[in-house]
Every structure is written in C-alpha cells, then in structure tokens.
Amino acid sequence: MMGDIAVVVGAASGIGAAVCHRLRTDTNARVVGMDHQWRSTGESSCHIELRVDVTDEASVERGFDEAMLDGGILRSMVCTAGIQRREATENLSLERWREMLAVHLDGTFLAARAAKRRMKDGGSMVFFSSVAEFHGWPERTPYAVAKAGVSAMARSLAVEWAGDGIRVNAVAPGYVDTPLVAAARERGELAVDPVTLHALGRLADADEIAGPVLFLLGEDSSFITGETLMVDGGYRIFRGK
Ligand code: NAD
C-alpha cells in the first residue's frame, strides 16, 4: 500500500506535475507539491502546493514540516527539481557550475534527508538522473556530473536506509517533452533533433515517466532498491538504423 503523504519536489512543471497528477488519480495519498516557482493558475495536480527552494536547507526543512502538519505518514518522496543549460566548459563560471550542482545534488540530498527524518514507517524515494550520466555530453558537463552523482546518492542511501525499510531508486529518462526541453530548443541549444536519438523515434510524454515512478514508489517494486531505471525510449542502446 502506498502511504498517505507523498511529497514531490519540482512539482510545478513537467515530470513533477505529471507524477503529482498520477499520485492523485491512482493512489489515496495526500500529494504535497514543492517548487520554488508556481506558475499555474488552473487546477493543481497536487492537494497542497508549497513554495520551497530545494537549494535552501531551511526552506526544505520548513516545507517538509508543513507537509506533515495535518498528520499522516510520509511514505513517498520524489525529487524532480532540475535545471539545464548549455555552455562551453572553458567559459563556464564557478558560480554557474555550483548552481547546477546545487539544484541537483544539494537539492536531492536536502530533500532526501528531510524525507528520511520524517519517514517513521519505511517508504520509497525516487530521484531524477538522466541518460546524460551515461555518455559524454559536451557543454553540459555540470549537468552530466550532477546526474551521475544523483545515481550514486541513490545507491549509497539505498544501502544506508535499507534497515529502516526505505528504498531509494533513481529514474534516468531520455528526452521528455516538457518545458525544460522546450526552453533548450528555444535557446537554440539542441544541436540535433532529439527525436533522432531514440530507438522509438520520438520524445517521451511526461506521463510515460510518471508511470515508472509510481511503480518504484509502490509495492510492485518492493525488491528493487539502489537502481537507476532507464526510461529512455532506447536512447542508450541506439546507434542508428
Ligand atoms: P521542468 O523544467 O519542466 O520542471 C522542473 C521543475 O523544477 C520546475 O517546476 C522548476 O521550477 C523546479 N525547480 C528548479 N529549480 C528549483 C529549486 N531550486 N527549488 C525548487 N524547485 C526547482 O523539467 P522536467 O523536464 O520536468 O525535469 C524534471 C527532472 O527530470 C529534472 O531533474 C531533469 O533534469 C530530469 N530530466 C529531464 C529530461 C527531459 O528531457 N525533460 C530528461 C532527463 C532528465
């Protein structure tokens, strides 16, 4: 059984919003979404929206405190907060390097630690890596490094917290049709059409990532921990036809 509180960090857009939507429709969990920027004016995918900057320790702790205010048991935490930018490494400032690592590495660490402190009865966490951790990705070095770190974090925490009944996994998507990719396209940062990079010949819809996340949160994956699950439309295996 999935627990009664599920926290999704990075919930205002793309994959995070899709995960909230699926949690809301497919489970009984109270879905608490956290993001530093809420844009939507329409119906939310979550039950509760909290403004949280995942790079800010106090903000994350406050957010998780607030998530627990109405009682219930925290059993699920998904961290999808992310940014992406293309920049030649020789011109990359230390500030921009640190910003990328802060959102993905500090952010995942702070969210995972906050969740662990409040998961009193076991649970499941899902972090977000990317196919970028498995190949050389020019001009996105800090992103690729951060994503490799996120997977390493999932493996370490999976072992460290296994005795507490907490499973920790990561998902590594291929290209997903979200505002993150749309923004990169608009900035002219996609050197090749990403459609051509996937064996399935298309980008994923965010809901196609949300499904595997729900699998990793639920009982059907009860013997899976420390795994990075590729959800990439055959990106990693594809060498052209
Ligand atoms: P998105 O831009 O649609 O959503 C990311 C969300 O993270 C946004 O709502 C944003 O406001 C939030 N966020 C960013 N910085 C934050 C901060 N400091 N504090 C709190 N929230 C913050 O992106 P997406 O495509 O849904 O990506 C979700 C995750 O999946 C990211 O980690 C991304 O790196 C990863 N990913 C995406 C793709 C893709 O093709 N879209 C591929 C592989 C991996």
Residue 62: CB atoms within 10 A of its CB come to: 15
Instruction: Report pLDDT for 1.
Output: 43
pLDDT average, residue stretch 151-159: 98
**pTM of structure:** 0.97
Return the residue whose CA atom lies nearest to atom 23 of ligand 1: 180
Q: Which atom of ligand 1 is nearest to the CA of 79?
A: 32
Alpha-carbon gap, residue 221 to 77, rounded angstroms:
15
Task: State if residue 232 touches ligand 1 by the CB under 6 angstroms criterion.
Answer: no
Q: Is 3 in the pocket of ligand 1 (CB under 6 A)?
A: no
Q: Mention the CATH class of domain 4-231.
A: alpha beta
- The domain ranges of the chain are 4-231
| Ramachandran assignment for 203, one of left (phi > 0), alpha (psi -120 to 50 degrees), beta (any other) | beta
Polymer length in residues for the chain: 241
Confidence (pLDDT) at 41: 65
User: Could you report the per-residue pLDDT of 12-64, keeping only the tens digit for each?
Assistant: 999 999 999 999 999 999 999 999 999 866 778 999 999 999 999 999 999 99
- The closest-lying atom of ligand 1 relative to the alpha carbon of residue 132 is 43
Average pLDDT of span 153-175? 98
